[in-house]
Every structure is written in C-alpha cells, then in structure tokens.
Structure 1
C-alpha cells in the first residue's frame, strides 16, 4: 500500500506540473476582469453577482465566472465564506491585494507582462538546439507597445524590491556620493534611493529607447548607452535583476566594466538579484527556480544562480570579496568589492 500511495503521489505531482501554466492564465484572466479591484471597491466581501455587476460585458456568463472564482479560491488568491442564508461571499487575501491595479505597490504590471508579451518557447528546443536567438528586450526598440509593457513590468518590481532594499540595507548607502543604476529602466529605483538619501547624485543608465520614456526624478540624470561597452563614472554601481539575463561570459564582461569604474575609487558594487537554493524552503525559493525556467525560455543563456555560481562570475569579473545580504524579498543584495 505504501508503494501504491507513493505512486499516486508521483502521478499527482506530474499532473500538477503538466497543468501548472493554468495558474498564470487564470490569474491573468482575473487581472483583466479587475476582480480584485471590484471586491476592493466594496467595504466587505461581496457576492458573485456583485462581482459580475462590476464587469463590463453585455453577455457575461456567470457560470464561467463562478468557475474562475472557485479555482482562485482554491489557489488562495481569494477567500469564500458561506453565510447563514446560503450566499457565498468573496473577499481578498493578502495575495489578491498585490493585484490591485491602482495600489502604491502592485504586481499587476508584471503579471500582464509575463502572461502576455513574453511567450515561453518550447523547453525541448532550448535543450536540443541551445536556446533562443533573440533577447526579449530587443523587441522594445522595434515595438513601442511591447517596450511600454516591458518597462511597466520592470518598474513595478523596481518599486517593490527597491522598497525592501531601502528598509533592509542598513547604512549601505552611507558615504556614497554618486550611484549609477546600470540597466535602471525608467529610473524608479534610483529615484527612490536618491529620495531617501539626498546626498547621492543618481545616474539612471539604460538603452536609448528605454531612457527616452523615463520620467524625471530630483537628483537623477538619465544617461543612455551600452553597458557592455562602458559604464558611467560613479562611486558605486547598482544592478537590479540584470545579471540573471545573461550567460557567464557576458556577466563577466559586464562585471569587468564595473571593475574599471570602481577600482579607481575603491567603490562598491551592489547587485540586487536572486540567489537560487534548489533545496530551499523559503517563501520565494519556488519562484526563483521557476524564474530559472523563464530565463531558459526567454533569454540567450540567462539563468538564476546559486551562491557558488555567483562566486565564480564575481571572481572572474574582479570582485573576489563579497557578501550576500538576505532581505524579505524575491531578490537578495550581493555587496562586492574590487580587488
């Protein structure tokens, strides 16, 4: 019986993996229907009919809406409670609050980006033929609508992760007079850092078509260029979610460019990126290993790295001295110094 139970568990696990993409598709559906926003607009939990009333559709199928809600309740995105008169009321979980589209901190843009414009290529092709022929951000220069969606997704993560960095990177920016955010996108994170530490002169550095749409932030200048050619001069360099986009060789090249800048003044490199632990049981470990699959499918050689893999590229790039600072976020801080 024990062997049979394990076999059933194994079968169930494979089924779960097989249909894993359904989670993202249904989550995107809920986002597009603004279900979390509809519930949030009421002071309490609401009925299915009240959710339906908030959806603009001349021919809404409430039975389909019920099935969507049943699925997302099962996934602990929404709550459901049966009243004494037999009416089911739906409410928000802490997870659902991250889908509110007008919230100060929201993951709605990243859900839209990952479940819409970025399509995962077959993993079999990656394994047998060696991966992709184009990077996802290359589309941005030719497709303004994709560029807008991609930048919005990156901006929302910059705000969430940037907030965690500011709260948990104690004294990390003390003594830093100038800071360049390499691959800083629309400049949101460097803007928040400079706002919290006004003694810092901030530089937001990214590709021309990215900084072209970046808003102005007090104390921050936008500079366009190619980080694989050179990086603007500064006391410190910060890179959020950049190195996971590239293979080891490109990472080492980029790190060497950082080394050229920082070795002149004894500055430091601040990497904000994931540290993969295949056996980890933390709240984000499953997500990090899932992101490794996304990197395999959507980039040329990009991947999430274990600490040993980080150590390897840091040493090759001229940063043998480093420490990892865990923060309550998807990403960690890797503080590195040039030799």
Structure 2
C-alpha cells in the first residue's frame, strides 16, 4: 500500500513539475516565432514556391556560418507550434527534410494584406514586454498600470514620446483594421444603414474609417484620436480627422465605433 502510494505521489509530482516547466519555458515559443519573422523565414519559404529543403533554407537566410545547425532546431519548435509543416524526402540516397507554410504562417507574410507581423512587433517589443517583469511590484503600489510603473508615463503618452514605438503601434492598428474591415463591410453592411454620421473613437490613422467612408459615401465620418496620433493626416470629402481625448468629450454623432479600446 505504501509502495503504491509512493508511486502515485511520484507520478503526481512529475506531472506537476512538467506543468511548471511548460509554463516557465513557454516564452520560447513566442520568441522563436519572433526570430523566424525577423529572419524572414515565412517569406523565404513562400518565395521558393514549393516545399523548401533545409539546406536551401539555411543558404537563403542572413545568418553566420557557425549558426547554421541551429536552424533545424528553430524549425522544430515552430513546427510543433503549428507555424510550418515538414515532409521527409530522399534525394540521392540521402534523407532531407522540407518545409511548407501553414495557414498561420501565411498571415506572417509581409505582402499579405492581413499580415499579423505588425501585431507581433508591437506586442513582443521590449517596451511592451518589460512591464510584465514588474507585475508583482506594481500590485504593491497605487500606480494605475504596469506600463506606467516601468516607463513613468501612460502607454499613449509614451507612444507620443517615442516615434519608433508610435510607428510600431500605428502599423499594428492599421493591419488589424484591414482584417476587421474586410469582415465588417462584407458581412454587416446593414449596420451602417440609416446613419448620417459616425465617429471612430480611438481610430488611429483611420484605416477602418477610410474603408467605411468609401463604402458609404452618404456617411460623414470622423476619426477621433489623440492629437499626436492624427497630426499630418488628411481627410476626404466625407472623412475628417479630429484630435481630442475620449475621456473628456466625443464629437456629436449618430453612431460611435469602438474597435480596440
């Protein structure tokens, strides 16, 4: 009885340990994905036009010769995560692995109109990830957000302060807007019927609103966001940009659009 109990406890402990290990090392998945995007691996395989042998992939990447053996390991992680698939082929009596894209990696191609590369860049940027290291410290004080705890200002103020980070965020918002708009206008046109005006609150550079304004010329559209976000942006006949703070006031309108707030 004691032996059975000991075996049960050992098995339970091993499962618990593996569960903890899995969560501790889960960052490897996202960082491996970032590495693949930074190296342009999805685009390289796509441009090859057919299943790409490992040797061809290695030869096409901007890596140091001493690091070539690590690409196979990187691809194993990404295959396990579902970003690529592999097939083994025999050529000249030698076995070689070949790689193809999956539905997920197709969304990581730069020329894909629905590319999620901008989302990856802004979320995995050190500016965005650093606050997570200070979550426990943030919970011990009265600072509103972990981002402010680390960077000394709100996310929006920081974006206005750092042009590079602002560019990353605006790229993400624009790419996400293209994705959302393709569904919104194609599947839910009736939502916009009967309105004369619409304000896109926190509309960024206006990617969604531009598509709506183009599809519904009778609708007077306003992109409403912080002044530093819309500076220099030009409107059209039924689209204009207005700067302000949504927590203070929103321009009068028939309809308010909130996409990502």
- 2-structure distance, mates of 1:200, 1:97: 35
Is this contact kept in 2: 1:52–1:60, CA < 8 A? no
Partner of 2:157: 138
Q: Point out the more displaced range, 217-226 or 99-108.
A: 217-226
Out of 128, 137, 146, the position equivalent to 2:140 is: 128
Provide structure 1 residue ranges, at least 5 long, that are not aligned to the other structure.
243-339
> 1:119, CA displacement in angstroms?
2.3
Aligned residues between the structures: 242
> 1:6, CA displacement in angstroms?
4.7
Residue 50 to residue 217, structure 1, CA distance change in 2 (3 Å): farther
Residue 57 to residue 176, structure 1, CA distance change in 2 (3 Å): same
- 2-structure distance, mates of 1:51, 1:213: 42
Is this contact kept in 2: 1:180–1:236, CA < 8 A? yes
- 2-structure distance, mates of 1:218, 1:2: 72
Partner of 2:69: 63
- 2-structure distance, mates of 1:183, 1:6: 49
- 2-structure distance, mates of 1:42, 1:153: 27
Residue 212 of structure 2 corresponds to residue 202 of structure 1? no
The 5-angstrom pairing of residues 120-199 of structure 1 reads 120-121=130-131, 122-130=134-142, 131-132=145-146, 133=148, 134-169=153-188, 171-199=190-218
> 1:171, CA displacement in angstroms?
1.4
Q: Point out the more displaced range, 102-111 or 130-139.
A: 130-139
Residue 57 to residue 19, structure 1, CA distance change in 2 (3 Å): closer
TM-score, normalised to structure 1, is: 0.66
After TM superposition, where is structure 1 displaced by more than 6 Å over at least 4 residues in a row? Answer: none
- 2-structure distance, mates of 1:59, 1:216: 50
- 2-structure distance, mates of 1:210, 1:148: 10
Q: Point out the more displaced range, 90-99 or 148-157.
A: 148-157
- 1-structure distance, mates of 2:13, 2:213: 55
Is this contact kept in 2: 1:186–1:213, CA < 8 A? no
Out of 106, 111, 115, the position equivalent to 1:106 is: 115
Residue 2 to residue 195, structure 1, CA distance change in 2 (3 Å): farther
- 1-structure distance, mates of 2:66, 2:116: 26
For residues 142-194 of structure 1, the C-alpha deviation after alignment (integer angstroms, 9 at most, x for no partner) is 11111111111121112212323233435111111111000000100111222
Partner of 1:31: 37
For residues 261-285 of structure 1, the C-alpha deviation after alignment (integer angstroms, 9 at most, x for no partner) is xxxxxxxxxxxxxxxxxxxxxxxxx
Q: Point out the more displaced range, 47-56 or 88-97.
A: 47-56
Question: Secondary structure of the residue that 2:190 maps to in structure 1?
Answer: coil
Is this contact kept in 1: 2:234–2:241, CA < 8 A? no
TM-score, normalised to structure 2, is: 0.85
For residues 45-66 of structure 1, the C-alpha deviation after alignment (integer angstroms, 9 at most, x for no partner) is 1012222232234546211111
> 1:3, CA displacement in angstroms?
6.0
Question: Secondary structure of the residue that 2:90 maps to in structure 1?
Answer: coil
Residue 143 to residue 112, structure 1, CA distance change in 2 (3 Å): same
Residue 169 to residue 25, structure 1, CA distance change in 2 (3 Å): same
Residue 203 to residue 88, structure 1, CA distance change in 2 (3 Å): same
Is this contact kept in 2: 1:186–1:215, CA < 8 A? no
Look at both structures and tell me which one has the larger radius of gyration over its CA atoms: 2
- 2-structure distance, mates of 1:229, 1:187: 21
> 1:34, CA displacement in angstroms?
0.5
Please state which structure has a larger fraction of its residues in helix: 2
Out of 8, 12, 21, the position equivalent to 2:14 is: 8
Partner of 1:294: none
